[in-house]
Amino acid sequence: MSKPEDLKVVKNCANTTRSFCDLTDEWRSTHEAYVTVLEGFSGNTTLFSCSHNFWLAIDMSFEPPEFEIVGFTNHINVMVKFPSIVEEELQFDLSLVIEEQSEGIVKKHKPEIKGNMSGNFTYIIDKLIPNTNYCVSVYLEHSDEQAVIKSPLKCTLLPPGQESESAESAKIGGIITVFLIALVLTSTIVTLKWIGYICLRNSLPKVLNFHNFLAWPFPNLPPLEAMDM
């Protein structure tokens, strides 16, 4: 409270046996200080009395907004639904944080939101690696660096990209290329053999057949009777 005011009774919290009470509707300004006094009675006897000061801009904590994710080949669409309780004057002190996690690496995204934090907001996390698992968390961060409440992680496995398909196509293309080269070599050898350049089809002439021919290095000597004495 910026001005001293008398304490007033919160009607929905008076004479209750509950262990809690919602004072949200009593906060008129998030930049005001409030004093709460809690008293416990048993009949006409006061059992206890305690008080606490609240500075909403510092002491308030915000539940993370609801969100959904949709994974594509190399990016993720994050659809955020802001809670309706975020007051317009408090939005200047809050920023939306989208955490991206993959293989132990955490990246923070702080998108700039034009206008009020209301309705749905879509943010695209791009430049991702296909066929990789990514997890996303969304929360509201206060400018005073107070404790935040992060949402549970939501994960998605991105589908494989065109690189995998290209790799398979390259393998198939390599097999076809090797087959064509082998086919061309076989056809060339068959053609050369058929025209007689290699593996002659006709046998050699008998005069050139030396298989049964025994060559002697020296000629036979004439008989002794034919020699002149």
* pLDDT for the residue 167: 63
The pLDDT-based confidence of 108 (bands split at 50, 70, 90) is very high
Strand partners of residue 41: 46
Cα separation, 201 vs 195, whole angstroms: 9
For range 111-118, the mean pLDDT: 75
In this predicted model, what pLDDT tens digit does every residue of 208-223 receive, in sequence order?
455 554 555 555 555 5
The pLDDT-based confidence of 123 (bands split at 50, 70, 90) is very high
* Of 172 and 72, the one with more pLDDT: 72
Which is nearest to 94 in space by CA: 112, 121, 74?
112
In this predicted model, what pLDDT tens digit does every residue of 24-61 receive, in sequence order?
777 777 677 888 888 888 888 888 889 888 777 667 77
* pLDDT for the residue 43: 83
Cα separation, 35 vs 1, whole angstroms: 8
The pLDDT-based confidence of 124 (bands split at 50, 70, 90) is very high
Whole-structure pTM over 0.75, yes or no?
A: no
Q: Are the beta carbons of 147 and 107 closer than 8 angstroms?
A: no
* pLDDT for the residue 42: 86
